[in-house]
Amino acid sequence: MKKYKSVLVIDDFKPTAWTIMRQFQIDGYNAEMCTSPESAIKMVLESDKKYDLIILDLILNGINGPELSRKFKGKSDIIFITGALDGTSVVKEASDEGWPVVLKDFHPKSLVKSITDDKVADFAKKQVNKERAFDR
């Protein structure tokens, strides 16, 4: 049984948001996307829709992911995605919030499977370890 049924993907790079959203839809989730913090706020806080899970880009135009996630506190679980390196202050801030941070070099199907299997924290760790090994 799926832990999450409805997913919102927030990423200011439309092809990334669409690809992730589409993979969730293919796998049977009710998934939507938005590409700006303003539209995310409207969708999460100003509409009657409930999202079980938010996939949130760590660095957005105008606001960073952790700042935006604080506005959504208690509304949904959050997984951050990023192309930023592990050592950046925003990555640390997101980790301090207690949510997984997944590097964007994942295949969308792998992300969906990790969420379906309730193993996203393990998936995030593998992604970070893979990036660190590549840097050596």
Beta strands in 63-112 (DSSP E): 63-64, 77-82, 101-103
Kindly state the tokens that stand for 69: 């996630």
The confidence score (pLDDT) of residue 4 equals 86
Total Cβ atoms within 10 A of residue 133: 8
Task: Pick 135 or 95 by higher pLDDT.
Answer: 95
Q: Does residue 2 have a pLDDT over 80? A: no
Which pTM does this prediction carry? 0.83
In the chain, what are the domains?
6-135 (3.40.50.2300)
When the pLDDT of each residue in the chain is averaged and rounded to a whole number, the result is 83
Tell me: the pLDDT tens digits for 68-94? 999 998 889 999 898 876 556 777 777
The confidence score (pLDDT) of residue 85 equals 63
Quickly state the pLDDT bin for 113 (edges 50, 70, 90). Answer: confident
